[in-house]
Amino acid sequence: MSRRFAWPNMDGRTGTGLLPPTMTPLLQVQDLHVTYTSSAGRVSLALAGLSFDVHRGETLGVLGESGSGKSTLAVALLRLLPENAEVQKGAVLFEGLDLLQAELRTLERIRGRRIALIFQEPSLALHPTIRIGDQIGDVLAAHESLTEGSLRQKTLQLLAEVSCADPARIADSYPHQVSGGQQQRVLIAQAIACGPSLIVADEPTASLDPTTQQEILSLFRKLRRKFNLSLILITHNPALLAGLADRLLVLYGGRAAESGPTERVLASPQHPYTRALLQSMPRQLNGITRRRQSRLPIIPGEAPNLEVLANGCRFETRCAERMELCSKREPAAESVSEGHTVACFKYGG
């Protein structure tokens, strides 16, 4: 699939020039800066110059913990930021059109139809007193003119598509009458309703138990193949992205710490943050690793305070391998192998 092509660098330039000229990325995020202003007037920089591309049919895993800016990224792409947030700089090019500059009417034709967003908490994302079928029908009706009958038919088709066992029953239920896993399937049905090219999913499995989680992830796998979808999967859990994302983008403090092919980043993480994060996970299941009840290697300290505008690397204060240079200026993304870039002075920067 997309892995045939060279990966673009994090700074938005196309990597090695191996991409065929016609294959421009579906989505190009360039130097995106987003700030929040608190009611007390304090400004925090949630995204500080983020750049990445998503190609057609490609799945990008965005890995980030609290305060990394991952949820801000999800809403910023579709200009759905809350009122106290502002895009300071940057562009979001979707098929060449800058969504941050586009007219609202143009944008409305793209939201939900070409790019769909799946929010974190399925129980909160669905209206509690409208039947599920009508909520899916509303998405269809917003973008297409269909008769009542064909609307119903299409709704049932969509529910069957996301592997709901009994589409008619689910369509006539209210959200509280179905399980969390079913609610998540309904959100996915809404997302694919208008045949989008790109789905952005923010922690789509966070509230589900592991077996349901795996079911939802396989559903994403199936749909992406079937509709040649591009996916941006945002999560704090690296394990979810293994075997699902083609590429990984590791966010820390609103910046890309590391980016590259998923297997390579997980197997040989280069940025000190990525490495420490992966090492902090319990690995007892392998049976061969750490002694049970031994202390896990941790990342000391807390997520960065984004109100403080640091000159240097955002991870510097927590980093076990920090050097003098790290607090002075921000490291640039350096390529460590093909398509694998790291923003750390250890690799030049």
Partner 1 sequence: MEQLLITENLEKRYENAGVLGTKREVWALQGVSFSIGPRSTLALVGESGSGKSTLAFCIACLERPTSGRIVFDGNEITALNEKQLRDMRPQIQLVFQDPARSLNPRFSALEIVCEPLLVQGRFTKQEREKRARALLAQVGIPQETALRRPYEFSGGQRQRLAIARALALEPKLLILDEALSALDCSVQAQIANLLLELQSLLGLTYLFITHDFAMAAHLADEIAVMECGRIVELSATERVLRAPEQEITRRLIAATPGLSAAKLVQEAV
CB closer to partner 1, 284 vs 327: 284
CB closer to partner 1, 53 vs 316: 316
DSSP SS3 for 88: strand
143's CB contacts (< 8 A; 6+ apart) are 109, 112, 113, 194
Q: Which two tokens stand for residue 226?
A: 């079937």
- In eight-state DSSP terms, residue 111 is B
CB closer to partner 1, 104 vs 308: 308
Question: Is the CA virtual torsion 208, 209, 211, 213 positive or negative?
Answer: positive
The region of 85-93, 139-147, 163-171, 288-296 touching partner 1 under the rule CB under 8 A is 288-296
Contact status: 214 vs partner 1 (CB under 8 A): yes
**In this chain, which of 267, 320, 323, 325 binds partner 1, going by CB under 8 A?**
267
Contact status: 209 vs partner 1 (CB under 8 A): yes
Contact status: 180 vs partner 1 (CB under 8 A): yes
**In this chain, which of 193, 233, 277, 326 binds partner 1, going by CB under 8 A?**
277
- Which residue do the tokens 């400004």 mark? 43
| Minimal distance, residue 79 CB to partner 1, in Å | 27
Distance separating alpha carbons of residues 330 and 343, to the nearest angstrom: 8
**In this chain, which of 278, 319, 336, 344 binds partner 1, going by CB under 8 A?**
278
In terms of Cα–Cα distance, which of 123, 78, 95, 332 is closest to 87?
78
Contact status: 290 vs partner 1 (CB under 8 A): yes
Distance separating alpha carbons of residues 106 and 220, to the nearest angstrom: 28
The pattern of x and - marking residues 40 through 79 that bind partner 1 according to CB under 8 A reads -------------------------xxx------------
Distance separating alpha carbons of residues 104 and 74, to the nearest angstrom: 18
The region of 107-115, 140-148, 157-165, 287-295 touching partner 1 under the rule CB under 8 A is 287-295
**In this chain, which of 176, 226, 283, 329 binds partner 1, going by CB under 8 A?**
283
Distance separating alpha carbons of residues 170 and 327, to the nearest angstrom: 55
Question: Is the CA virtual torsion 70, 76, 80, 83 positive or negative?
Answer: positive
In the complex, the residues that contact partner 1 under the rule CB under 8 A are 65-67, 180, 209-214, 236-243, 263, 266-269, 276-290, 292-293, 295-299, 302-303
